[in-house]
Chains A and B, each alone.
Chain A
Amino acid sequence: GQNIDQPTEMTATEGAIVQINCTYQTSGFNGLFWYQQHAGEAPTFLSYNVLDGLEEKGRFSSFLSRSKGYSYLLLKELQMKDSASYLCAVRGITGRRALTFGSGTRLQVQP
């Protein structure tokens, strides 16, 4: 089975940097994903890590350590529109390509 943990809520200030952590336990690993979900909307894909290290995409970066079962999403130069839930998800080694999602971290960006 798979178990994913991430903080329920976080608050940060506009213009600052925030790091959202995710730890996972899985019987097989084939990639870790981060999604952004605004209230009432579908999740949108942010990043994918399958090897250890940092992946950078503009203001967003994602880090993975497979040996530690740990990932984080780093958001820089926070904007008010970044207020959303951030979902960590893991794909196992089965052929179905489906993801197991954490419950999400609700980020509130304040002025």
Chain B
Amino acid sequence: SQTIHQWPATLVQPVGSPLSLECTVEGTSNPNLYWYRQAAGRGLQLLFYSVGIGQISSEVPQNLSASRPQDRQFILSSKKLLLSDSGFYLCAEAVGSSHEQFFGPGTRLTVL
């Protein structure tokens, strides 16, 4: 079975501060990994996906970036946070015969 770890679970940061959110997955080798953001009262928005080490595709222009330094590690970063970066950040892996998205527990980020 899949296990995804995300930390921290919650985070409160001032505007203009840097950000680093970490996601690690257990089990599968060379997983397809994803970062989604869910703003309050809105649907999940795909931010980045990665099919392997060092391979990152960005879905929307923003002040966030992602990196995949190891096979099972996916990191979301920002140099300077904006108020609009507040939200629930979810790391996911494509699993199963239907390749559904399996989500980690998420990080709730509040930018003040």
Binding site for B on A (CB under 8 A): 4, 31, 33, 40-45, 48, 50, 87, 89, 91, 96-104
Contact = CB atoms under 8 A, between A and B. Distances in A.
B106 interface: yes
Contacts of B99: 91, 97
Interface of B: 32, 34, 36, 41-46, 49, 51, 57, 59, 90, 94, 96, 98-106, 108
By Cβ-Cβ distance, the 10 closest A-B pairs, closest first, are A42-B103, A101-B43, A48-B98, A103-B43, A101-B44, A97-B94, A97-B99, A45-B100, A98-B46, A42-B106
Contact of A87 (B43, B46, B106): B43
**Main secondary structure on B side of the interface with A:** strand
Nearest to B45: A101
A99 B59 CA distance: 12
B46 A44 contact: no
A57 B42 CA distance: 27
B57 A96 contact: yes
B98 A104 contact: no
A104 B99 CA distance: 21
B90 A33 contact: no
B98 A99 contact: no
B44 A97 contact: no
A104 B103 CA distance: 16
A45 B102 contact: yes
